[in-house]
Amino acid sequence: MKQQVVGWILSNKAMPSKMQLNKTFKPLTANDLKEFKDCYEQKGAITLSADRMLAEEREKVLELASSSYTVSEISKQLLISLDVVQDIVNARIAGIRKHQGMLQALSEVTGHSEDELVNIIMADGEQLTEVLVIAYKLNTDVYTQTVGTLVSEDLSQVCKDTLMEKI
């Protein structure tokens, strides 16, 4: 739904007719669309607080953050307040950093700094797979602990997918 609203706002088209509202924007009303558009024109975003975010939006923020998009780029692309995007990214980084023991053990085994590992885990891609392969080859205990933490704390979709393939 939000994608249609964002598309409409960015297109600068006139307010949709009642039939278009029911077809494309249901259950939103014309007043809802006007509020979203006014909010965008005043604040440059239509999601101004984390409690008004959809779960899909939060996932998309983290997906874009892991793809090297800046907080500003994510905010502009998704029309979410810069502060909200920054809070989500910071919370994810803090969630990774709270596993200091895992980061330290993984750092000792792989030779990556803890900061590099946080970025690698945030990116949740090929480089994480490579780090885990090194850990597996050099210290299976560290590998097992790391994968267990990444999966149980929902820090890596790559690890979850790999685990599901094995099952």
User: pLDDT digits over 130-151, tens only?
Assistant: 999 999 999 999 999 999 999 9
- Confidence check: pLDDT of 1 > 70: no
Q: What is the pLDDT of residue 108?
A: 96
| Range scoring the smallest mean pLDDT among 20-29, 59-68, 111-120, 136-145 | 20-29
Pseudo-torsion of CA 92, 93, 97, 98, nearest 10°?
Answer: -30
Residue spans per domain, the chain: 2-90, 99-166
Q: Whole-prediction pTM value?
A: 0.70
What is the percentage of the chain residues whose pLDDT exceeds 90? 37
Q: How far apart are CA 11 and CA 14, in angstroms?
A: 9
Q: pLDDT at position 132, please? A: 94
Q: What is the dihedral of CA 119, 122, 126, 129, to 10 degrees?
A: 90
- Work out the average pLDDT over 103-130: 93
For residues 5 and 143, which has the higher predicted lDDT (pLDDT)?
A: 143
CA 27 → CA 12, 23, 24, 80, distances in Å? 21, 9, 9, 21
pLDDT surpasses 90 at 101: yes
> What average pLDDT does this structure show over 109-136?
93
Query: What does the pLDDT average to over 114-124?
Result: 92
Flag whether pLDDT at 167 surpasses 70: no
Q: Above 80 in pLDDT, residue 87?
A: yes
Q: Which two tokens stand for residue 65?
A: 């953050």
